[in-house]
Chain A
Amino acid sequence: MDYTFQWGVALRYLPDLLQGAWVTFHLTFIGFWTGLVVAVFLAVGQLYGSVRLRRAISAYVVFFTNTPSLVTAFFIFYGLPEIGILWSPYVCVLVNLVLNAGAFLTDVIRGGVASVRVAEMEAAETLGFSMLQKIRYVIVPHVAKVLYAPISNLYIVFILGSALAAIFGVEELTGTAFNIASETFRTIEIYSLAAAIYVVMTVVASVVLALVGRLAFRVRARVL
């Protein structure tokens, strides 16, 4: 071991890394939660839609959940310009994130809806609930509760996975670290710092999600 740590150099670049972390944050925040909205619609389509719609949604889900997101990102980054669509690297990566998160979340939500207890649906039926009322008072509270933890975990996975944006020149946390490391050659220090920032981000995200979950699901389905 003749590597001499020079943390001073690395720390000088802390503001740049934090700037990168901010990009990571909004990239994944916008991408993932947009993906969730997409997934809610797709899950509904898959459960109640026509056969053709179901097939189309399944094809989409199967494709994106079985392809490395790096590969789909290459498709978007290099493929779309071929047909005249020119997006910035940030937008390419964001769209890729939405499509991937949308696919994974569609599967997750469908599983959650499938786990709604038959007994509760039957009770709602005999009590005269309409389809919309069943969704609102039985399905949504159940799905929100059982899926909150898996979706939170998936969000963390997507924060970490967003590092692939670096490959396309997006200056998020990993991309920034890569650039600084190749300028300063303080590779280990810079990446250690970047890793520490990732840890802080995911821990903060977990804690915030856990707190929100606890507040939101204390109330569960409210009537009065």
Chain B
Amino acid sequence: MAQIELRGVSARYPSGGQVLDGVSLVVDKGEVVSIIGPSGSGKSTLLRVLVGLLPPSAGEVWLDGSRLDYADRKALTAARARLAIVFQQFNLFQNMTALDNVTVTPVKIRREPKASARARGEALLRRVGLGDKLGAYPDELSGGQQQRVALARALALGPEILLLDEVTSALDPEMVNEVLDAIRDLANEGITMLIVSHEMAFVREVSDRVVMMADGAVVETGPPGQIFDAPRTERCREFVSKILRH
């Protein structure tokens, strides 16, 4: 069953031109879909549309069979409660410790008991290798560590759908594997995932399907085997050959 469905979604930033141009995409429940494509092709923008930060200028977004109404704040908040995003730039709260970043939403917004939220936050941070950084502020953490805090913050929400924007870009190779293991576990737990990544080996391994984007549009969609080994479009062949060469 389609959990996320984009129907001809276009989007523009107030300050600029069209960034997404009629994107259609279906992601089934429990599916792991990766989005690849050159820098500036609109991958992050697509995720921003899904979390409601940027309303589409045309087209529709459907979640579990109901159309997302961007003008209805209540509905938007309800939809967001089921989604979690890890931003490309992490977007951590600079004035909160790692643990507070992870627990602020459960405790302050969702009013969960502190003790259990804290225990879960600590466990999540330990899981991403930050058990000794619970009290550190973002400006005291490396890029890779901040990224992992952001991942833990997203997981603390217990989302049905997880959106990951370049979560491995700031990680060293060793840490990449740990984070990828965590993501793989999540995939096995049946969380629906939409992953933007330049990490082709990972994309190939973890994805059920790969979406190649260029210039704000979907160029080709298919299983990893197709996209990487036998792309059907010239644009995709060109991109994949460039990326796989190094």
Q: Mark B93-128, 1 if CB is under 8 A from A, else 0.
A: 111110110011101111000100010000000000
Question: Quick check: A120 and B100 within 8 Å, CB to CB?
Answer: no
B91 within 8 A of A: yes
Question: Quick check: A142 and B95 within 8 Å, CB to CB?
Answer: yes
Q: Specify which chain A residues have a CB less than 8 angstroms from the CB of B77 in the assembled complex.
A: 128
Q: Specify which chain B residues have a CB less than 8 angstroms from the CB of A137 in the assembled complex.
A: 93, 96, 104, 108
Q: Mark A135-151, 1 if CB is under 8 A from B, else 0.
A: 00110011001000000
Q: Specify which chain B residues have a CB less than 8 angstroms from the CB of A138 in the assembled complex.
A: 93, 95
A222 within 8 A of B: yes
User: Which chain A residue has the least Cβ–Cβ distance from B54?
Assistant: A122
Question: Quick check: B99 and A224 within 8 Å, CB to CB?
Answer: yes
User: Which chain A residue has the least Cβ–Cβ distance from B115?
Assistant: A224
| Residue in B95, B96, B108 whose CB lies within 8 Å of A133 | B108
Question: Quick check: B94 and A223 within 8 Å, CB to CB?
Answer: no
A60 within 8 A of B: no
Q: In chain B, residues 169-225, which have Cβ atoms closer than 8 Å to a Cβ of chain A?
A: none
User: Which chain A residue has the least Cβ–Cβ distance from B93?
Assistant: A120
B9 within 8 A of A: no
Q: How many residues of B contact A (CB 8 A)?
A: 32
Docked CA distance A125–B51 (Å) = 9
| Residue in A120, A126, A133 whose CB lies within 8 Å of B53 | A126
Of residues A117, A129, A221, which shows the largest number of chain B Cβ atoms within 10 Å of its Cβ?
A221
Closest approach, in angstroms, between the C-beta of B100 and any C-beta of chain A?
4
A211 within 8 A of B: no
* Chain A contact patch, size range: 20 to 34
Docked CA distance A138–B96 (Å) = 9
Question: Quick check: B87 and A127 within 8 Å, CB to CB?
Answer: no
Q: Mark A186-210, 1 if CB is under 8 A from B, else 0.
A: 0000000000000000000000000
Docked CA distance A198–B53 (Å) = 52
Docked CA distance A222–B108 (Å) = 10
Given A126-B51, A126-B52, check contact A221 B91 (CB 8 Å): no
Q: Specify which chain B residues have a CB less than 8 angstroms from the CB of A142 in the assembled complex.
A: 94-95
Q: Mark A97-120, 1 if CB is under 8 A from B, else 0.
A: 000000000000000000001011
Question: Quick check: B87 and A123 within 8 Å, CB to CB?
Answer: yes
Closest approach, in angstroms, between the C-beta of B58 and any C-beta of chain A?
22
Docked CA distance A126–B77 (Å) = 8
B157 within 8 A of A: yes
Question: Quick check: A120 and B80 within 8 Å, CB to CB?
Answer: no
Docked CA distance A123–B81 (Å) = 13
Given A223-B103, A224-B100, check contact A120 B91 (CB 8 Å): yes
| Residue in A133, A221, A224 whose CB lies within 8 Å of B114 | A224
Question: Quick check: A128 and B96 within 8 Å, CB to CB?
Answer: no
A220 within 8 A of B: yes
Closest approach, in angstroms, between the C-beta of A123 and any C-beta of chain B?
4
| Residue in B53, B107, B108 whose CB lies within 8 Å of A125 | B53
Closest approach, in angstroms, between the C-beta of A170 and any C-beta of chain B?
41
B66 within 8 A of A: no
Q: Specify which chain A residues have a CB less than 8 angstroms from the CB of B100 in the assembled complex.
A: 221-224
Docked CA distance A138–B93 (Å) = 7
Question: Quick check: B96 and A122 within 8 Å, CB to CB?
Answer: no
Known: A120-B92, A126-B85. 17 other contacts (CB 8 A): A119-B91, A120-B91, A122-B87, A125-B53, A126-B51, A126-B83, A127-B80, A127-B105, A127-B157, A128-B80, A128-B81, A129-B109, A221-B93, A221-B95, A223-B100, A223-B103, A223-B107
29 contacts between A and B (CB under 8 A): A117-B94, A119-B89, A119-B91, A120-B93, A120-B94, A122-B53, A123-B92, A124-B93, A126-B51, A126-B52, A126-B53, A127-B105, A128-B80, A128-B81, A128-B109, A133-B109, A137-B93, A137-B108, A141-B96, A142-B94, A142-B95, A220-B95, A220-B96, A221-B95, A221-B96, A221-B100, A221-B104, A223-B96, A223-B99
In order of increasing CB-CB distance, the 4 nearest A-B pairs are A141-B95, A123-B91, A223-B100, A119-B91
